Each structure stands twice: as structure tokens, then as C-alpha cells.
Amino acid sequence: MPPKRPRLFENALLALREVPAPALRVTCTREGARVRAVVEDNGPGIAPELLPRLFQPFVTGRKREGPRPGTGLGLAIARGIVERHGGRITAGRAESGGARFEVELPRAQTVMAAASLG
């Protein structure tokens, strides 16, 4: 099986399929002991009714009968992974009107910092 694309990119590429000038922008910044990655696209944006429940399992905007049905698990799994690494993931609207995701993570985990000391 080919490797699966990162879930945020997979979602963005699907959202951009019908967009005439698709753009996906990833910005990473270091903020003290944390790093922030912003993933933004210029697609249709996240449906407002999904936004409050977006990271819950089985919440999907892709219809079962559509060409690429979704299970609604991607973002729930992504949040689980990020939070287990001491981070946060949030969703909102980009200036372009598309989707914007922010992933914030500690640059080092306590256990790794402890290991490197000794």
C-alpha cells in the first residue's frame, strides 16, 4: 500500500479539487519552547455547522455516496496524536475563506529532555 498522506494535507487536497487556482500554504514558526505550524488552503473552507464538532470521531462533511466518502476519523486521530505529544490542534477560517489549521507542539518533551540530561 502506498504511504498515506498526512491527514491535514489529504483533507486540503480533497477540498481543493474543484478550485481553479488551488493553494496550500504551510508556515512553521518557533515560539520559545514551542513550535507552531499553520496549514491553510484557499478551498471552500470548513462548513460552519461542522466546526464545533470537527475533531469528534465520525464527523464528516463528505457524503457516503460521493466520489471520495470520508469516515470522519482523520482529524480525531490527528488531535489524539498531537495531544499525546503535549500539543494542541485547532481549526478555523483562513483569510482567503479557506480552511486554516494550527498545530502547536513543545519543541522537546519532558521525558526526552530528561533522557538527554542523563
Ligand X SMILES: Nc1ncnc2c1ncn2[C@@H]1O[C@H](COP(=O)(O)OP(=O)(O)OP(=O)(O)O)[C@@H](O)[C@H]1O
Which helix H or strand E contains 35, and what residues bound it? strand 34-41
From CA 12, how far away is CA 100, in angstroms rounded?
10
99 touches ligand X (CB under 6 A): yes
Q: Which residues pair with 30 in a beta bridge?
A: 35
Selected from 61, 80, 86, 106, the binder of ligand X by CB under 6 A is 61
**Residue 39 CB, nearest approach to ligand X (Å):** 8
Alpha helices in 1-118 (DSSP H): 7-15, 74-84, 110-117
Q: Output the CA torsion sign for 13, 70, 94, 90.
A: negative
27 touches ligand X (CB under 6 A): no
82 touches ligand X (CB under 6 A): no
**Residue 2 CB, nearest approach to ligand X (Å):** 15
Beta carbon nearer to ligand X, 25 or 62 = 62
From CA 105, how far away is CA 115, in angstroms rounded?
19
25 touches ligand X (CB under 6 A): no
Q: For the chain, how long is the longest CA-to-CA vector?
A: 55
Q: Which does 54 bind (CB under 5 to 8 A by kind): Mg ion, ligand X, none?
A: ligand X
Tell me which residues touch Mg ion (CB under 5 A): 11, 74
Q: Which residues bind ligand X (CB under 6 A)?
A: 7, 11-12, 15, 41, 43, 45-47, 50, 54, 59-62, 70-76, 99
